[in-house]
Amino acid sequence: MSFAPLQNDTFLRACLRQATDHTPLWLMRQAGRYLPEYGATRAKAGSFMGLATNVDYATEVTLQPLERYPLDAAILFSDILTVPDAMGLGLSFAMGEGPKFATHVRDEAAVAELAVPDMNKLRYVFDAVTSIRKALHGRVPLIGFSGSPWTLACYMVEGGGSDDYRAVKTLMYSRPDLMHRILSINADAVAAYLNAQIDAGAQAVMVFDSWGGVLADGAFQTFSMAYTHRVLEQLQTEKDGQRIPRIVFTKGGGLWLNEMNSLPCEVLGVDWTVNLGRARLVVGGDVGGAGKALQGNLDPNVLFASPQHIETEAVRVLDSFGLPHTDRATTGPTHIFNLGHGISQYTPPDSVAALVAAVHSHSRRMRA
Return residues touching a copy of itself (CB under 8 A): 164-166, 169-170, 173-174, 213, 215-220, 252, 254-255, 272-275, 297-302, 304-306, 309, 313, 316, 320, 340, 344, 346
DSSP structural state of residue 331? B
Q: Is 25 helix (H, G, I), strand (E, B) or coil?
A: strand
Contacts (Cβ under 8 Å, ≥6 apart) of 327: 19, 287
Annotated catalytic residue 79: yes
DSSP assignment of 111-125: HHT--PPPGGGGHHH
Closest separation in Å from C-beta 111 to a copy of itself? 17
Alpha carbons 165 and 103: distance in angstroms, whole number: 17
Residue 280 known to be catalytic: no
Which amino acid is residue 328, in one-letter code? R
* Residue (67 or 163) nearer to a copy of itself, CB: 163
Q: Which is nearer to a copy of itself, 3 or 304 (CB)?
A: 304
Chain-centroid distance of CA 335 in Å reads: 15
All residues at 6 or more sequence positions from 244 whose CB lies less than 8 Å from its CB, including other chains: 198, 202, 203, 204, 205, 235, 236, 237, 238
Q: How far apart are CA 196 and CA 84, in angstroms?
A: 16
CB of 117 to a copy of itself, least distance (A): 29
Q: State the minimum distance, in angstroms, from the CB of residue 217 to a copy of itself.
A: 4
Q: Which of 72, 79, 85, 209 is catalytic?
A: 79
Catalytic residue status for 327: no
Q: Which of 325, 235, 255 is nearest to 289 (CA)?
A: 325
**Among 38, 57, 124, 155, the one annotated catalytic:** 155
* Active-site pick, 29, 106, 133, 280: 29
Amino acid at 349: P
Nearer to a copy of itself, 116 or 263 (CB): 263
| For a copy of itself, the closer CB: 33 or 309 | 309
Contact in structure between 150 and 209 (CB atoms under 8 Å): yes
For residues 86 and 119, give the distance between their C-alpha atoms in angstroms, rounded to a whole number: 8
DSSP 160: B
CA 4 to chain CA centroid, nearest Å: 24
Shortest distance (Å) from residue 248 CB to a copy of itself: 17
Choose between 21 and 173: whose C-beta lies nearer to a copy of itself.
173
- Of 8 and 275, nearer to a copy of itself (C-beta) is 275
Active-site positions read 29, 33, 42, 79, 155
